[in-house]
């Protein structure tokens, strides 16, 4: 099943061809949660300056991402933005948000359906960065996302097997500075695919508090996604497992490191005989959230 991540090169190819929209306003607000939400944080690695402050005045553009189209928190943001008169662009594979976009004549980007959200990263991320980098005047080569997976594929397989062996039956805490969003996604993949505890933290903040927890935290294992010189301080103090980026290019590193996170989490799932696609608690949490926000 790890092929789903190693086949991201094909999915990126398809994602390049998805039509996008122009973003009107300089203030770009992002809405999303979970596997759909992390793409906004990852996009900010490229300097697109997405805001996550969801207060709408009508002078901003909201880019709302929900792969399923049924995420209650994102639906509420879209409704509030429409009421305020804000421009709204929705990226989704269907659901309530697709229907709402068509009813309200909102800008809609349809992506292929049928995947778990975490597997569909190329379809969600590529349209987002094409729109936002164009608005910011940032020149990128989107094909580097595909190249990152292709060129690192064999290393990803080897490194994922090694990491799974080191992390299983311990509590990994993944840290980074510049690549904090990638560390966060690493944590999320382990949680969702392996149903295994994992956490994340930001360098240098954790160097002033959290590193003390390792004195009485024998089950913890620190993992550093190395992205700047300051990460090495935490590495030295905690004798961390280090994940070194495969490239000097941010786009290639984003795709290859996220693929590594996915394959690692699947390798961990294999070791504990867990089914990555099976969800125990998330459906109930989503159902209760829908009731809270009165989303039908």
Distance CA 263, CA 8 (A): 12
What DSSP character marks residue 274? Answer: -
DSSP labels, 175-219: EESTTHHHHHHHHHHHHHHH----EEEETTGGGGTGGGGGGG-TT
Question: Which residues are the active-site residues?
Answer: 192, 208, 286
What DSSP character marks residue 119? Answer: G
Distance CA 174, CA 185 (A): 9
Beta strand pairing call for 171-176 and 220-225? parallel
Residue 95: burial class (beta carbons within 10 Å; 0-12, 13-18, 19+): middle
Q: Which whole-number Å values give the CA distances from 164 to 35, 160, 182, in the listed order?
A: 21, 6, 17
Q: Are the CB atoms for 185 and 223 separated by under 8 Å?
A: no
Distance CA 285, CA 161 (A): 32
Distance CA 233, CA 239 (A): 10
The sheet carrying 241-243 orders its strands as 199-202, 171-176, 220-225, 241-243
Distance CA 188, CA 225 (A): 14
Residue 28: burial class (beta carbons within 10 Å; 0-12, 13-18, 19+): buried
Q: Identify which of 149, 141, 184, 179 has the alpha carbon closest to the alpha carbon of residue 37.
A: 184
């Amino acid at each position: 099943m790890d092929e789903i991540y190693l086949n991201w090169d094909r999915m990126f190819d398809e994602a390049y061809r998805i039509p996008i929209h122009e973003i009107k306003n300089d203030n770009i607000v992002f809405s999303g949660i979970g596997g759909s939400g992390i793409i906004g944080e990852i996009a900010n690695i490229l300097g697109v300056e997405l805001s996550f402050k969801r207060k709408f005045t009508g002078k901003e553009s909201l880019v709302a991402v929900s792969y399923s189209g049924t995420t209650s928190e994102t639906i509420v943001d879209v409704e509030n933005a429409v009421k305020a008169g804000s421009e709204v662009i929705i990226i989704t594979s269907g659901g309530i948000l697709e229907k709402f976009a068509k009813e309200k004549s909102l800008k809609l980007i349809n992506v292929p359906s049928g995947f778990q959200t975490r597997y569909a990263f190329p379809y969600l991320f590529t349209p987002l960065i094409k729109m936002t980098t164009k608005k910011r005047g940032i020149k990128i080569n989107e094909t580097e996302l595909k190249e990152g997976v292709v060129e690192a594929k064999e290393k990803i397989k080897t490194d994922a097997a090694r990491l799974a062996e080191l992390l299983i039956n311990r509590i990994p805490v993944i840290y980074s500075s510049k690549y904090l969003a990638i560390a966060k996604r690493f944590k999320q993949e382990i949680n969702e695919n392996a149903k295994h505890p994992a956490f994340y933290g930001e360098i240098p903040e954790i160097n002033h508090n959290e590193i003390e927890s390792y004195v009485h935290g024998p089950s913890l294992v620190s993992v550093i996604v190395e992205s700047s010189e300051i990460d090495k301080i935490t590495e030295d103090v905690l004798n961390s497992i280090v994940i070194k980026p495969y490239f000097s290019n941010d786009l290639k590193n984003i795709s290859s490191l996220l693929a590594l996170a996915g394959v690692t989490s699947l390798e961990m799932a294999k070791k504990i005989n867990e089914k990555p696609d099976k969800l125990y608690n998330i459906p109930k949490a989503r159902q209760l959230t829908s009731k809270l926000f009165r989303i039908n």
